[in-house]
A and B are shown apart, each in its own frame.
Chain A
C-alpha cells in the first residue's frame, strides 16, 4: 500500500481527492466527545478539474448566445412573439446582472430576421385640416423614395414656377386684367371729373376719401367768398355737388364687384400658369406611386393645392431668378407643407422585423414628440419626431422596467398605446421654468400599433408592479423567467465554458485557459451559494473576467489563467474590504467582545451576514440569554428597541413555541427570559440566529456552559429541527478569520445546519485548515445535536413517561422549569393569603 502510493505519486500527481484522504488520515479532526462528527474537507468545497472540461482555451469554443440553460425563458419568449394578440406582451424576469438584455436581444434579432419587414410610415400635411397631419403607410423601403421624389419635384417647381410667373406671357396677361379693371373705374372717375369741371366743381382727394368743392377760375372758392354769393346760387352749387356726390358714391361702390371679378380672372390665370408646371413636375412621381391609393391621393392633393396656391409664386421676374437659385423647400414657407416627413423607414425591405431597445424610455422617446417651433408660430407636421414605438412597430421593443417606471408618465403612455393598439405622438415635454405642458398645436393621426413589448424586470420591481398596477397583468401575459443558475453536469459545464467564451469575445479579451475557466466555475458555484450549481449572471461573471484580463495584461500573459482569476477575486475583496477589516479589528482588539475559548453559561457565538453593496461577509456576534421567574415571556431586546426585524422576531417566537411544546406539557412556563445580541447597534433581520438563541436559552436554563470555540448558525422550527440559512460560506469564514487572527487552537469550528452542506464552497484557506485539523465544520439536524456538541453533555431524550434523564441537558432544563413553576405557585399562594388580597378586599 505504501509502495503503491509512492509509485502513484511518482508516476502521476495525486488528485485533490486523494490528497484530501491522505491529509485526513494524517491529521484527524478535533476530537468531539459527544455529538456530530466534523465534516471532511472534501465536503467543504467542490473543485473543478480543468482536464475534464475538454478544451485548452476559450478560443477553441463556440460562443453561446447568453441564453444557455434558459430553455424555459426562451420558450416563453417564442410563445409571446408568436401570439398575435396585443395583450400578450412579454416580461423577462431576472436579476439586473443576469445579462438578460444582451441575451434576449440576440434571440429576438434571430427571430426578427426571419420575420416580415413591416411597412414604412410617413406623416404628410392634411390639406383639409393642417392641425391633424395624415399618417400614410407604404411598403417597406418606399417611404424614402416618396420623400425624395416630392422634394425633387418641389425643387423643380421652385425653379420653374417663378419663371413661369415671371414670363412675359404671364405678365402681359396679368397686366391686361389689371388694366381692364383700373381703366373701368378710372374712366368712370375721369368722366365724373370732367362733368364736375364743366359745372365748376372740383373733385378733391381727402385723407379718407373724396370731397367736392366749388371752383372759380380753376381755384377752389374760399369759404368767405362762397358765403357772400347769393343764396340761390349757393343752393344751386350745393344741389349740383350733392348730385355729383351721389354719382361718385355709385362709382366707388361698384369697385368691390369689379375687384372680385378681377381677382377671379387673376386666380384663373395663376391656376392655368401653375397647372402645367406642377403637372410636369409631379407626373412621373404620381405614376410610380399609382399602386398605393393613399399616396396617390396625397400626391393629387399636393397638385391641387399647389395649383390653387400658385399666386404665392407670382413674384417679379428679377427676383425670381435669385430666389430660384436659393430656394430650399424645407425652409420655404410656401413649400414646406408639401414635404414628406418620414418617421419610419426600412431601407432594406428584406431586413426583417425591427428589434429596438428604448434606452431612455420617457413618454416622448416612446411615443414620439412634436418639436416646438423655433422661430415663433406653430409647429407643423414636419416637427413630428418618431418614438421607439414607431421604430419598433411590426417587431419588438425591449424596455428596462426600472427606467420605464422611473420616468414620469412613460408607463401610463405605454399602457395607453398598448390598450388602444395605436401610437399617438405626444406634445413636447415641459420646457418652461414653470413646468407647464405646452398647448398641443397638432393632433397627428395615430399609427396602428402591432408590437411586442419585452419588458426586462428584476424580481423585486416585478413584485411591486404586480401589487400596485392591475393593468400590468392584463397587458403582459407572458412571463419569461431567467434562471440565475445552472445545475452542475458535464454538459452544463461545457455550456458555462461557452458562456465565458462569449464574454471574452464580446469584450474583446484574451482567451482564458481551462484552468481559468475551472477557477471561474468554482467562484460561480460560490456566488450561487450552491456547490452543485453555477451562477450564470453574465454581468457579474463578465466583471470578474475583465478584471482578470487586466491582471493578465500586467503579467504579460497572452492567455488568462486561474492565477489571474484568483488575483481578480483577491484584489476585488481587498478593494472593498475596509469595513470587514475594521469589524475584525474591533473583535481582535477586544472592543467587540467575542470569546473564542472556554465555556460560558447562557452565552454563544452566533454568526451574522453583513451586506454593503458588493461586499458580503460573516461576522460573529455574541448572544446572551438570562432566565428568571416570570409569567412565561421571552423578551427579545432587539425587538423591544425596534432593532429586530419581523423575521427575527418570528424566530424568537418559534423558539418559545419549541420550549413550551417540549417542556410545558404538565407545568406552566413560569419563566421570564431575555435574549440580546451584545454590542449590536444595527437592525437585525432574518431567523438564522434562532438556533443560537435557543441554545443560549437552554444553556441558561440548564446552567450548562456552552463551548465558546464553536460558533453557530441556523434557524429552528417548533420541533427543534435546525433549518438551512443563507450566506453560510461567508459566516463560516467570518468566524474562521477571527479564530485565525487569534491563533487556531484545533478545537475551534462552526456548527451549521445539515441542509447547508450542499451550499458549502468555502475559501481554500479554510478548507486547508480543516484538512489539517486546525478548524472544523459540524452539520446538525436537531437542536439536541447542537446541545450535545456545545455542552459536552448528552442532550437527553424523553422517556416513556415524558421525562428526561436528570443528568442530561434537557433533564436539567425540565427540572429548572419545574422549580420555577413551583416557586411561582407558592408565590401566588402567599400573595393570595396576604392582607388585602382577594376580591372582597375593597
Chain B
C-alpha cells in the first residue's frame, strides 16, 4: 500500500477535491483536503462534476425535481439544471480557493460534465499516480458516496491513479489531532506509519499505530515483530487490538475518545469490509477517514 501523495513539483499527483452537483459540502472534508495538501506539500484540484445522468433525466418529458422539504416539485429542463449547477460550482469553488489561499496551499478549480467515476479517473490519470481523492460531501448510510453519483467500490475500481479516498461523516468536526494508522498486515506497518507521520505534521498531533489482530495467540508474537520493524521509530505510540473482543464500532468509539484527527485504514479491511460499512464507521468518528487500497 502506498499512502503517498505527489508533491507539487513532482507533477505526479495531487489532492483531488470532488464536489458534487448538490452543492453540499462537509467542512471537515475540505479541511482534510487542505491539511493533506499541506502535509505533502501538494496542491488541490477542485473538481466540480456535473453528473451527466442528471442531464439525461432532465431531458425526459416527465422529469420533475422534488424539493428537499418535499413541499414543492417542478418540471426539470437541461437549461435550468445547467444554471443551477453553474451557480453551485462557482460558489463552492470560490469558497475552496479562498480557504486554500488562507492555508497557503496551491489550488486550481475545474468543472466537468461527465459520470463522476469516469471524470475522477480521467483527472487523476492526467497527473497520476499519486493522487488522493477527497470527497467534498459527507458520506451517508447505505450509499456512502452513491448520492454523489458514484460508489466507493466503483471509484477504487475505476480510478487507478489514486492512493486512496478521504471521506468524512456528517458528525465529523475536526481534522486536527493524532493520526491513527490501522494495519492488519506486518508488511504495511512501515509505509502506513510513514504516511501517518507525514499527515501528523499538518494535524498538530502525533502518529499512532493500531494493529488489529484476530488471533489471540499471535498477538505477543506480532507485537514483537512490529517492535522489531519499528526499530527506527523509537517512542512510537503503538497498540495491538484484539479483534476477538472488539468490533469496528467499539474501535471507532476508542478512536473518538482518543481525539483522532485522521484515521487511515484499508478499504476492504476489517473496519470497512464493504462499501456500506464505510458510512456507519465514518459517522462514529469526529475526524476524516483516509481509505487506502
Contact = CB atoms under 8 A, between A and B. Distances in A.
A706 interface: no
A263 B53 CA distance: 36
Contacts of A207: 21-23, 81, 84-85, 87-88
Interface stretch (A76-84, A246-254, A300-308): A246-254
Interface in B220-267: 257, 259
Interface residues of A, number: 42
B123 to A, nearest CB: 21
A791 B129 CA distance: 134
A211 B57 CA distance: 8
A190 B142 contact: yes
Contact of B84 (A182, A204, A208, A214): A208
B177 interface: yes
Interface in A204-242: 204-214, 219-223, 226, 238, 241-242
Contacts of A249: 66, 70-71, 73
A220 B53 contact: yes
B70 A251 contact: yes
A661 interface: no
Interface core residue of B56, B87, B173 (most chain A CB under 10 Å)? B56
A210 B21 CA distance: 11
B64 A211 contact: yes
B102 interface: no
Contacts of A316: 173-174, 286
B28 to A, nearest CB: 11
A643 to B, nearest CB: 81
B69 A211 contact: no
Given A178-B171, A211-B57, A318-B174, A245 B140 contact: no
Interface string B45-59: 000000101101111
Given A248-B70, A253-B69, A204 B51 contact: yes
B257 A209 contact: no
Contact of B71 (A193, A206, A208, A253): A253
A204 B115 CA distance: 13
B2 interface: no
A175 interface: yes
A62 to B, nearest CB: 75
Contacts of A787: none
B141 A205 contact: no
A208 B67 contact: yes
B70 A168 contact: no
Contact of B66 (A213, A221, A245): A245
B10 interface: no
A318 B259 contact: yes
Contacts of B174: 316, 318
A175 B172 CA distance: 12
Contacts of B63: 211, 213
Nearest to B23: A207
A182 B170 CA distance: 10
B76 interface: yes
A223 B58 CA distance: 9
B69 A205 contact: no
B147 interface: yes
B81 A206 contact: yes
A223 B59 CA distance: 6
Interface core residue of B57, B63, B67 (most chain A CB under 10 Å)? B57
Given A205-B148, A210-B65, A252 B173 contact: no
B128 interface: no
Interface in B257-289: 257, 259, 286
Nearest to B50: A207
Interface string A139-182: 00000000000000000000000000000100000010010001
A435 interface: no
A190 B280 CA distance: 14
A204 B57 contact: yes
Contacts of B259: 317-318
Nearest to A226: B60
Contacts of B88: 207
B56 A213 contact: yes
B141 A186 contact: yes
A836 interface: no
A413 B51 CA distance: 70
10 contacts: A204-B54, A205-B21, A205-B148, A206-B57, A209-B67, A212-B64, A238-B62, A248-B70, A253-B69, A317-B259
Given A175-B171, A204-B51, A238-B62, 20 more contacts: A182-B170, A186-B140, A186-B141, A190-B142, A206-B21, A206-B65, A206-B76, A209-B73, A212-B64, A213-B56, A220-B57, A222-B56, A223-B56, A245-B64, A252-B66, A252-B67, A252-B68, A253-B70, A256-B69, A317-B259
